[in-house]
Structure 1
Amino acid sequence: MLRLGRHEFDDAAMLVMAIVNRTRDSFYDRGATYAEDAALDRVRRVVDEGAAIVDVGGVKAGPGDAVDETEEIRRTVGFVARVREEFPDLVISVDTWRASVGREVCAAGADLMNDAWGGHDPGLIEVAAEFGAAYVCTHTNGAEPRRPPHRASYADVVRSAIDDTVALAERAVAVGVPRESVLIDPAHDFEKTTWHSLEITRRLDEMVATGWPVLVSLSNKDFVGEALDLPTDRRLTGTLAATAVSAWHGARVYRAHEVVETKQVLDMVAAIRGDRPPARATRALA
């Protein structure tokens, strides 16, 4: 069982986490949902499309506009409260590395702390435990928030991802986050070359084998663009291929921009695997 805040999901469920950026400089949507009303419209749309989780972010992951703690709180807290009021049964995640932000958004109704920078602020785990929120343990190899990767090197990138995220997961449980509410994320592109992200995808079953539920954030990432030599706005097909491989290996949560397409891929993989019956099965039966 996977528990995200007040919500429980069975072990076969594969969940789409829709990205909602409250930033002016997102690498993908270029600020399309920076305005609060536009962001709320996106939440309404992705819920209709089948997203089980929305992931609200107030700071771009990479270099860009400076966003201090006060501004990140301004962008996220009131918005989380609005989403919680309109969608009481929706899982609300917040993408942050700051404990101070985590405390405010949890008080406003967030269910999940998506710690994008792998425990950089150790207090964020304590906040998740205090509020009964779920927690994502991300592999960034100790990188500073918003610093671009430079000559990333590993003896074994998958081993590093497993060791670091499992250690963080065990720490989360030790401070009071329920075990069934802790996820691990190999963090494609974060402090990684394209070769590293491809290898993590190829060997994702090794992370799944740890027993911790795995979250992947693949959507339109640079490793997809470099693998296919495509710009950001033409990476959907490659993203969906990586999604299918990750689903076959057993990842549980998929952070995505395109909800409908991602959900169709997950449903198809589940049908092939035998976890989901076809929506309609009449061929050759008449």
Structure 2
Amino acid sequence: MSNKLIIRERCFVWEQRTYLMGVLNVTPDSFSDGGAFNNSAAALAQAQAMVAAGVDIIDVGGQSTRPGAEQITVAEELNRVLPILQVLRREITVPISVDTTRASVARASIETGADIINDISGGTFDSEMLPTVASLDVPIVLMHIQGTPQTMQQMTNYQDLMGEISNFLAARILAATTVGIDHRKIIIDPGIGFAKNYEQNLELLRQLRALKALNCPILVGASRKSFIGRILNQPDPQARVWGTAAACCAAISQGADILRVHDVQEMRDVSLVADALFRQER
């Protein structure tokens, strides 16, 4: 694995510290904060608060990927994402990723000022996604999923959880590099909560280090998810901060490079302490 990646003049040096990707959902229906930031003023205020708290990347999403989420049109996704990107890019300098599975949205987002594409399908929902990202020469996050957000909760049968996730991601890395994406610009995400049940999410966090063999930085998105709610008996996602902190600490101990989080200030403290405990080079 190349040990560094430069995005918008910021140098990400893998293995030395944990980086935080802050979630900015510009949707009316996301599971945790849907509707809270889907206008430009609210989105900008939230982004600026995340920057002040020490975020490294801001992840903008216009299509909810919660279980059972309805698919929206390309026009609607563009209408949600592009105006927010325009406002953010004028005001903040941190790298921005866009959470999308559509090549046309990816292209328009990068042209509007985004820096990274975060594709929950690993480039499988749209056959043009990987060639588009290759032509744009930007980093991409490739996530593991089975089925779609509408069907994934019924797609949790695995003979070998870590082996199947690893094989899927290896195949997507190969597909990406074959069409010209620089291996150094690929980040992998095992997809906690996506076609994984409660026990599988826990197993995935325990065995995360196995994915180091793929030689890509690892992104983990456990923030506020339902497996934490089950452990805490806490139905309100916004009340799962401490549980998220424990999951994030575990992920860092198992080699996570980037954490996708809602609560940047709290998880910055978690990552600073966990890095001091678990990183070899400080």
TM-score (norm 1): 0.91
> What's the CA shift for 1:118?
2.5
CA spacing shift, 1:70–1:155, aligned 2, 3 Å: same
Residue 229 of structure 2 corresponds to residue 239 of structure 1: no
**CA distance 1:112–1:4, change in 2 (3 Å):** farther
Contact 1:94-1:110 within 8 A present in 2 as well? yes
Counterpart secondary structure, 1:149: helix
Q: Quote the offset at 1:211 in angstroms.
A: 1.8
Measure, in 2, the Cα distance between the counterparts of 1:162 and 1:127. 24
Q: How does 1:134-149 map to 2 (within 5 A)?
A: 134-141=139-146, 143-149=147-153
Q: Residue 59 of structure 1 aligns with which residue?
A: 63
How far did 1:208 drift? Answer: 2.2
Partner of 2:230: 226
In the alignment, what sits opposite 2:88? 83
1:74: Cα distance to partner?
0.7
Q: Pick from 153, 156, 160 the counterpart of residue 160 of structure 2.
A: 156
- In the TM superposition, what is the alpha-carbon distance from 1:123 to its structure 2 partner? 1.3
- The corresponding residue for 2:4 is 2
Is 1:121 the counterpart of 2:129? The answer is no
Considering Cα pairs closer than 8 Å and 6+ residues apart, tell me whether 1 or 2 has the greater RCO: 2
**Where does residue 264 of structure 1 map in the other structure?**
269
C-alpha separation in 2, matches of 1:166 and 1:148 = 20
Deviation string 1:89-124 (CA, Å, 9 cap, x unpaired) is 311100010111111001111111100122211211
Q: Secondary structure at the match of 1:209?
A: helix
Q: Secondary structure at the match of 1:51?
A: coil
Q: Residue 168 of structure 1: CA displacement? A: 0.6
Give SS of 2:96's match.
strand
What is the alpha-carbon distance in structure 2 between the residues aligned to residue 274 and residue 189 of structure 1? Answer: 26
The amino acid of 2:13's aligned partner reads D
Q: In the alignment, which residue of structure 2 is the partner of 1:203?
A: 207
Task: Check whether the contact 1:26–1:60 (CA below 8 A) recurs between aligned residues.
Answer: yes
Q: Does 1:70 align with 2:75?
A: yes
Aligned AA (1:74):
N
Residues 69 and 149 in structure 2, CA contact (< 8 A), matched pair in contact too: no
1:62-110 per-residue CA deviation (whole Å, 9 max, x = no partner) reads: 33455210010011112212212222x3111000101111110011111
Match of 2:260 in 1: 255
Question: Percent identity at matched positions?
Answer: 31
Query: What amino acid sits opposite 1:128 in the alignment?
Result: V
Total equivalences in the alignment: 275
Deviation at 1:227, TM superposition (A): 2.7
Decide which structure has the larger Cα Rg and report it.
1
Cα displacement (A) at 1:258: 0.2
Please provide the CA RMSD for this pair: 1.7
Q: 4+ runs of 1 displaced by more than 4 Å?
A: 274-277
- State the alpha-carbon separation in 1 of the partners of residues 202 and 37 from structure 2: 30
Choose which of 47, 56, 78 in structure 1 pairs with 2:51: 47
Contact kept, 8 Å, 2:26 with 2:34, in 1: the verdict is: no
Q: Distance in 1 between matches of 2:142 and 2:4?
A: 15
Q: d(CA) in 1 for partners of 2:6 and 2:22? A: 15
Taking the aligned partners of 2:149 and 2:276, their CA distance within structure 1 comes to 39
Deviation readout 1:145-204 (Å, 9 max, x if unpaired) = 443411511011111111111211122122222211101111011011111111000100
Amino acid corresponding to residue 228 of structure 1 in structure 2: L
Letter paired with 2:246: A
Are the aligned partners of 1:110 and 1:133 in contact in 2 as well (CA < 8 Å)? no
